[in-house]
Structure 1
Amino acid sequence: MSVTIFHNPRCSKSRQTLALLEEKGVGPTIVEYLKQAPTADEIRDICAKLGVEPRAMMRKGEAVYKELGLKDVDDDNALIQAMADNPILIERPIVIANGKARIGRPPESVLEIL
Protein backbone atom coordinates (compact mmCIF):
# COMPACT_ATOMS: atom_id res chain seq x y z
CA MET A 1 0.00 0.00 0.00
CA SER A 2 1.32 3.40 -1.00
CA VAL A 3 0.76 6.17 1.55
CA THR A 4 1.72 9.82 1.12
CA ILE A 5 1.64 12.54 3.75
CA PHE A 6 1.71 16.23 2.89
CA HIS A 7 3.71 17.26 5.91
CA ASN A 8 4.93 20.38 7.66
CA PRO A 9 7.52 19.37 10.29
CA ARG A 10 6.85 22.61 12.21
CA CYS A 11 3.18 21.65 12.76
CA SER A 12 2.39 19.57 15.86
CA LYS A 13 -0.65 17.89 14.23
CA SER A 14 1.46 16.99 11.23
CA ARG A 15 4.18 15.51 13.45
CA GLN A 16 1.56 13.60 15.47
CA THR A 17 -0.02 12.20 12.30
CA LEU A 18 3.34 11.08 10.94
CA ALA A 19 4.18 9.42 14.28
CA LEU A 20 0.81 7.66 14.28
CA LEU A 21 1.39 6.29 10.78
CA GLU A 22 4.85 5.05 11.74
CA GLU A 23 3.44 3.52 14.94
CA LYS A 24 1.00 1.56 12.75
CA GLY A 25 3.90 0.27 10.66
CA VAL A 26 3.26 2.58 7.72
CA GLY A 27 6.31 4.15 6.11
CA PRO A 28 4.72 6.97 4.11
CA THR A 29 6.23 9.02 1.34
CA ILE A 30 6.75 12.39 2.99
CA VAL A 31 6.10 15.49 0.93
CA GLU A 32 7.18 18.68 2.67
CA TYR A 33 4.67 20.69 0.69
CA LEU A 34 6.12 24.07 1.69
CA LYS A 35 9.36 23.06 -0.08
CA GLN A 36 7.75 20.91 -2.81
CA ALA A 37 4.51 22.74 -3.57
CA PRO A 38 1.85 20.65 -5.29
CA THR A 39 0.64 21.82 -8.68
CA ALA A 40 -2.88 23.07 -9.28
CA ASP A 41 -3.73 19.70 -10.87
CA GLU A 42 -2.38 17.84 -7.84
CA ILE A 43 -4.44 20.04 -5.51
CA ARG A 44 -7.53 19.43 -7.64
CA ASP A 45 -6.87 15.67 -7.34
CA ILE A 46 -6.43 15.91 -3.57
CA CYS A 47 -9.73 17.80 -3.28
CA ALA A 48 -11.44 15.01 -5.21
CA LYS A 49 -9.88 12.35 -2.98
CA LEU A 50 -10.94 14.30 0.11
CA GLY A 51 -14.42 14.77 -1.35
CA VAL A 52 -14.38 18.48 -0.53
CA GLU A 53 -14.49 21.83 -2.27
CA PRO A 54 -11.13 23.65 -2.43
CA ARG A 55 -12.00 26.13 0.33
CA ALA A 56 -12.44 23.22 2.78
CA MET A 57 -8.73 22.40 2.52
CA MET A 58 -7.56 25.99 3.00
CA ARG A 59 -6.09 27.54 6.12
CA LYS A 60 -8.34 30.58 6.39
CA GLY A 61 -6.42 32.08 9.32
CA GLU A 62 -3.23 32.61 7.30
CA ALA A 63 -2.32 36.23 6.60
CA VAL A 64 -1.98 35.54 2.86
CA TYR A 65 -5.61 34.32 2.79
CA LYS A 66 -6.70 37.75 4.01
CA GLU A 67 -4.14 39.66 1.91
CA LEU A 68 -5.38 37.99 -1.29
CA GLY A 69 -9.02 38.59 -0.38
CA LEU A 70 -9.81 34.90 -0.81
CA LYS A 71 -12.83 35.09 1.47
CA ASP A 72 -14.67 36.81 -1.38
CA VAL A 73 -13.45 34.50 -4.19
CA ASP A 74 -16.11 32.11 -5.53
CA ASP A 75 -14.03 30.55 -8.31
CA ASP A 76 -12.68 27.11 -7.31
CA ASN A 77 -9.94 27.30 -9.94
CA ALA A 78 -8.74 30.60 -8.47
CA LEU A 79 -8.68 29.08 -4.97
CA ILE A 80 -6.74 26.07 -6.22
CA GLN A 81 -4.24 28.32 -7.99
CA ALA A 82 -3.86 30.40 -4.83
CA MET A 83 -2.92 27.22 -2.92
CA ALA A 84 -0.47 26.19 -5.65
CA ASP A 85 1.13 29.65 -5.54
CA ASN A 86 1.01 29.89 -1.72
CA PRO A 87 1.23 26.36 -0.27
CA ILE A 88 1.05 27.77 3.27
CA LEU A 89 -2.69 28.00 2.54
CA ILE A 90 -3.05 24.21 2.33
CA GLU A 91 -4.47 22.58 5.46
CA ARG A 92 -2.12 20.08 7.03
CA PRO A 93 -1.41 17.28 7.25
CA ILE A 94 -3.09 15.49 4.38
CA VAL A 95 -2.65 11.73 4.04
CA ILE A 96 -3.42 9.91 0.79
CA ALA A 97 -3.89 6.13 0.65
CA ASN A 98 -6.04 3.69 -1.29
CA GLY A 99 -7.33 6.37 -3.64
CA LYS A 100 -8.68 8.46 -0.76
CA ALA A 101 -7.39 11.31 1.38
CA ARG A 102 -7.97 12.62 4.89
CA ILE A 103 -6.86 15.73 6.73
CA GLY A 104 -5.15 14.68 9.96
CA ARG A 105 -7.23 16.83 12.28
CA PRO A 106 -7.46 14.92 14.53
CA PRO A 107 -4.52 12.68 13.54
CA GLU A 108 -6.59 9.50 14.09
CA SER A 109 -8.91 10.44 11.22
CA VAL A 110 -6.28 9.25 8.73
CA LEU A 111 -6.63 5.67 9.98
CA GLU A 112 -10.00 5.44 8.16
CA ILE A 113 -8.27 5.20 4.77
CA LEU A 114 -5.48 2.75 5.63
Structure 2
Amino acid sequence: MVWTIYHNPRCSKSRESLALLQANGIEPTVRLYLENPPDAATLRQLLSQLQLPARALLRDGEPEYDALDLANPQLSDDHILATLARHPRLLQRPIISNGQRAVLGRPPENLLQLL
Protein backbone atom coordinates (compact mmCIF):
# COMPACT_ATOMS: atom_id res chain seq x y z
CA MET A 1 0.00 0.00 0.00
CA VAL A 2 1.36 3.41 -0.99
CA TRP A 3 0.68 6.11 1.60
CA THR A 4 0.83 9.80 0.76
CA ILE A 5 0.41 12.81 3.00
CA TYR A 6 -0.26 16.21 1.47
CA HIS A 7 1.79 18.04 4.04
CA ASN A 8 2.55 21.54 5.24
CA PRO A 9 5.35 21.33 7.84
CA ARG A 10 4.25 24.67 9.34
CA CYS A 11 0.84 23.20 10.25
CA SER A 12 0.59 21.49 13.64
CA LYS A 13 -2.19 19.14 12.48
CA SER A 14 -0.10 18.11 9.51
CA ARG A 15 2.94 17.45 11.71
CA GLU A 16 0.79 15.49 14.17
CA SER A 17 -0.70 13.40 11.37
CA LEU A 18 2.74 12.59 9.96
CA ALA A 19 3.96 11.61 13.45
CA LEU A 20 0.89 9.38 13.95
CA LEU A 21 1.58 7.59 10.67
CA GLN A 22 5.22 7.09 11.60
CA ALA A 23 4.27 5.87 15.09
CA ASN A 24 2.23 3.19 13.34
CA GLY A 25 5.20 2.10 11.23
CA ILE A 26 4.13 3.92 8.06
CA GLU A 27 6.64 6.05 6.17
CA PRO A 28 4.43 7.87 3.69
CA THR A 29 5.42 9.77 0.61
CA VAL A 30 5.44 13.35 1.88
CA ARG A 31 4.12 15.74 -0.72
CA LEU A 32 4.79 19.35 0.16
CA TYR A 33 1.69 20.56 -1.63
CA LEU A 34 2.57 24.27 -1.38
CA GLU A 35 5.76 23.62 -3.35
CA ASN A 36 4.33 20.87 -5.56
CA PRO A 37 0.57 21.47 -5.84
CA PRO A 38 -1.67 18.62 -6.95
CA ASP A 39 -3.35 19.19 -10.29
CA ALA A 40 -7.13 19.12 -10.72
CA ALA A 41 -7.10 15.45 -11.79
CA THR A 42 -5.22 14.43 -8.64
CA LEU A 43 -7.59 16.48 -6.52
CA ARG A 44 -10.56 14.77 -8.21
CA GLN A 45 -9.04 11.37 -7.38
CA LEU A 46 -8.55 12.45 -3.76
CA LEU A 47 -12.17 13.62 -3.62
CA SER A 48 -13.28 10.19 -4.74
CA GLN A 49 -11.18 8.59 -1.99
CA LEU A 50 -12.42 11.09 0.60
CA GLN A 51 -16.06 10.76 -0.50
CA LEU A 52 -16.51 14.49 0.05
CA PRO A 53 -17.69 17.38 -2.13
CA ALA A 54 -15.00 19.64 -3.60
CA ARG A 55 -16.07 22.49 -1.32
CA ALA A 56 -14.92 20.43 1.70
CA LEU A 57 -11.32 20.87 0.51
CA LEU A 58 -11.43 24.66 0.76
CA ARG A 59 -9.89 26.60 3.63
CA ASP A 60 -12.33 29.45 4.04
CA GLY A 61 -10.11 31.47 6.37
CA GLU A 62 -7.53 32.32 3.73
CA PRO A 63 -7.63 35.77 2.06
CA GLU A 64 -7.85 34.15 -1.38
CA TYR A 65 -11.15 32.54 -0.40
CA ASP A 66 -12.90 35.91 -0.24
CA ALA A 67 -10.88 37.49 -3.05
CA LEU A 68 -11.87 34.68 -5.44
CA ASP A 69 -15.53 34.65 -4.31
CA LEU A 70 -15.30 30.99 -3.34
CA ALA A 71 -18.30 31.25 -1.01
CA ASN A 72 -20.46 31.49 -4.14
CA PRO A 73 -22.69 28.37 -4.02
CA GLN A 74 -22.98 28.39 -7.82
CA LEU A 75 -19.34 27.37 -8.33
CA SER A 76 -18.91 23.94 -9.86
CA ASP A 77 -16.62 21.25 -8.50
CA ASP A 78 -14.48 21.69 -11.62
CA HIS A 79 -14.06 25.39 -10.86
CA ILE A 80 -13.17 24.70 -7.22
CA LEU A 81 -10.63 22.01 -8.14
CA ALA A 82 -9.01 24.22 -10.78
CA THR A 83 -8.80 27.03 -8.23
CA LEU A 84 -7.21 24.74 -5.64
CA ALA A 85 -4.63 23.62 -8.19
CA ARG A 86 -3.72 27.28 -8.85
CA HIS A 87 -3.95 28.37 -5.20
CA PRO A 88 -2.74 25.44 -3.06
CA ARG A 89 -2.80 27.54 0.10
CA LEU A 90 -6.59 27.10 -0.02
CA LEU A 91 -6.32 23.30 0.29
CA GLN A 92 -7.40 21.75 3.57
CA ARG A 93 -4.52 20.01 5.26
CA PRO A 94 -3.35 17.48 5.72
CA ILE A 95 -4.86 14.95 3.36
CA ILE A 96 -3.69 11.39 3.93
CA SER A 97 -4.25 8.70 1.31
CA ASN A 98 -3.47 5.00 1.34
CA GLY A 99 -4.10 4.81 -2.41
CA GLN A 100 -7.66 3.57 -2.02
CA ARG A 101 -9.17 5.75 0.68
CA ALA A 102 -8.24 9.12 2.10
CA VAL A 103 -9.05 11.29 5.11
CA LEU A 104 -8.54 14.86 6.19
CA GLY A 105 -6.20 14.94 9.16
CA ARG A 106 -8.29 17.48 11.07
CA PRO A 107 -8.14 16.14 13.71
CA PRO A 108 -5.16 13.84 13.17
CA GLU A 109 -7.09 10.98 14.78
CA ASN A 110 -9.22 10.84 11.60
CA LEU A 111 -6.46 8.89 9.96
CA LEU A 112 -7.03 6.01 12.39
CA GLN A 113 -9.91 5.11 10.05
CA LEU A 114 -7.30 4.11 7.48
CA LEU A 115 -5.02 2.11 9.76
| TM-score calculated relative to the size of structure 2 | 0.96
Specify the alignment match of 1:112 in structure 2. 113
Mean alpha-carbon deviation: is it higher for 103-112 or for 4-13?
A: 103-112
Give 1:45's aligned amino acid.
Q
Specify the alignment match of 1:43 in structure 2. 43
Deviations 1:50-103 (A, max 9, x none): 001100111011100110011114211100100000001110000001500000
Question: What is the distance in 2 between the residues matched to 1:32 and 1:88?
Answer: 11
Question: What is the distance in 1 between the residues matched to 2:107 and 2:82?
Answer: 26
Is 1:94 the counterpart of 2:95? The answer is yes
- Which blocks of at least 5 consecutive residues in structure 2 are unaligned? none
Give 1:43's aligned amino acid.
L
Question: What is the distance in 2 between the residues matched to 1:8 and 1:39?
Answer: 17
* Structure 1 vs Structure 2 CA RMSD: 0.9
SS, match of residue 46 in structure 1: helix
Cα distance change on mapping 1:40 and 1:98 into 2, 3 Å = closer
Kindly tell me the number of residue pairs found equivalent between the two proteins.
114
Question: What is the distance in 1 between the residues matched to 2:40 and 2:28?
Answer: 22
Specify the alignment match of 1:23 in structure 2. 23
- Which blocks of at least 5 consecutive residues in structure 1 are unaligned? none
Is 1:54 the counterpart of 2:54? The answer is yes
Question: What is the distance in 2 between the residues matched to 1:16 and 1:48?
Answer: 24
SS, match of residue 55 in structure 2: helix
Question: What is the distance in 2 between the residues matched to 1:98 and 1:81?
Answer: 22
Overall identity of the aligned pairs, in %: 42
User: Displaced runs of 4+ in structure 1, greater than 6 A?
Assistant: none
8 Å Cα contact 1:46-1:101 kept in structure 2: yes
Question: What is the distance in 2 between the residues matched to 1:56 and 1:98?
Answer: 19
Is 1:5 the counterpart of 2:8? The answer is no
Deviations 1:10-35 (A, max 9, x none): 00000000011111110000000000
